[in-house]
Amino acid sequence: MNVQSDIPIVDFAAFTHGNETSRVAVSARICAIARTLGFVYLRGIEIKQADVEHLLASMATFFDLPAAAKKPLVRARRANADLRCGYVPRGREHEDSSTPSDIKEAFDLFRGDGYYRAAFASARSDEPTFAPAVQALVDDFATFHARCAAVANDVLRTFAINFRLPESYFVERHGQNNILRLLHYPPVSDAVLAGQMRVGSHTDFGTLTLLFQDPTAGLEVLSAGGRWLTAPWIPGTVLINIGDLMQQWTNCDFRSTPHRVDVPSGARAQRSRYSIAFFCEPNSETEVTCLPSAQNSNEPLFAPVIAGEHLSARLDRTLIEKS
């Protein structure tokens, strides 16, 4: 499938399966894009399109449940990574605090089924709630989560190579706070409020994000020149973007880019949109401070920050109503 995109596409297999020369070349290419646009498609990753479509189908079944069935899964969304798990109803978040609530619902999943049971001990007493649609998500997510973590770790290695650090530098500082977020953007009615979006303009607040989309359009990325670029669905790829903490680590050498999901019109407004986001965030105790090899590292633009504190503060700012 030949899709035109203003966002570059990189063959990542040349990094994961190539020789040292090709690995360095891919690293340089990805990092050059991170400095300018902050978004890049990767082709040739170890996650198959069939795996993505299988999870999208499980998601659609879950989000089609009546509100009464999903309500017991609403999480106690506190500023604590250990509790970031559960269902987020429509109207609960706004990524752009200057606008009304985002037109979306979500389901956040942490690492393992054991964690899932602990997080939802009270809800699990109502077994019909969990069968079969919720259990399908639980069964599918662990494998997909692990595959996303492996891809994210390889991307982190490209960053380390570029900054002349040990290849495991960033990998060793990640792994505890990775979140898989399943997103549903329901059909849009005529009752859209002024300024309301499916997701308002925002930057991601961790290190990097992996995004898998369905064929329904809507994601837009702000170029350095101030133009909103369409980020199309390209099967067989994952869309990667830089987050705020990576921008800070690199002293603004890498760009954490604003992006949004528009409100569709016409026939597209009558269709749901689904996407899968994997947020790769530093371990809570990690100190994010300017890298010695970053651009203008002798003049840091940010004070050092503890990752967990930063993530908690940013998470709180997206909430409209705490559950």
pLDDT of res. 76: 42
In this prediction the pTM is 0.90
- DSSP letters for 170-193: TGGGBSSS-EEEEEEE----S-PP
Q: Is residue 312 part of a domain?
A: yes
Q: Which helix (H) or strand (E) holds 157?
A: helix 133-162
C-beta separation of 278 from 152 below 8 A: yes
Confidence of residue 124 (pLDDT cuts 50, 70, 90): very low
Average pLDDT on 222-243 reads: 96
User: Which of helix, strand or coil describes residue 289?
Assistant: coil
Number of domains the chain is built from: 1
Flag whether pLDDT at 248 surpasses 60. Answer: yes
Q: What CATH number is attached to the domain comprising 211?
A: 2.60.120.330
Does residue 232 register a pLDDT over 80?
A: yes
Distance (Å, rounded) from C-alpha 8 to C-alpha 18? Answer: 20
Contacts with 310 (C-beta within 8 Å, 6 or more apart), sequence order: 205, 244, 245, 288
pLDDT of 108 over the 80 cut:
yes
What is the rounded distance in angstroms from the CA atom of residue 172 to the CA atom of residue 184?
A: 32
Across 299-309, average pLDDT: 93
| 193, pLDDT greater than 90 | no
8 contacts: CB under 8 Å, gap ≥ 6: 29, 33, 37, 40, 41
**Confidence band for 1, pLDDT divided at 50, 70 and 90:** low
The pLDDT of residue 114 is 46
For residue 74, give both structure tokens: 């609403």
Q: Is residue 231 part of a domain?
A: yes
Instruction: Yes or no: say if 279 and 196 are a contact pair by the CB < 8 Å rule.
Output: no
Is pLDDT of 319 > 70? no
In this predicted structure, the answer to whether residue 123 has a pLDDT above a threshold of 60 is no
Measure the CA–CA gap between 89 and 238, rounded to whole angstroms.
Answer: 26
Sorting pLDDT into bands at 50, 70 and 90, what band is 317?
Answer: low
Q: Are 77 and 90 spatial neighbours (Cβ–Cβ below 8 Å)? A: no
pLDDT on residue 174: 95
Averaged pLDDT for residues 87-99: 81
- Pair 88, 101: CB distance under 8 Å: no
Decide: 47 and 147 in contact? Cβ < 8 Å: yes
Mean pLDDT along residues 60-76: 80
Residue 269 falls inside a structural domain: yes
* Residue 285 counted as domain residue: yes
Residue 2 falls inside a structural domain: no
Summarize the confidence of residues 33-60 as an average pLDDT.
Answer: 96
For residue 255, the model assigns a pLDDT of 98
Lowest mean pLDDT among 9-13, 16-20, 26-30, 69-73: 69-73
Both tokens assigned to 69: 């069935």
Residue 211 lies in a domain: yes
3 within a domain of the structure (yes/no)? no
Domain limits for position 59: 9-317
Average pLDDT over residues 291-301: 93
Asked if residue 323 belongs to a domain, the reply is: no
Taking the C-alpha atoms of residue 4 and residue 189, their distance in angstroms, rounded to an integer, is 30
Q: Report the distance separating Cα 36 and Cα 34, nearest Å.
A: 6
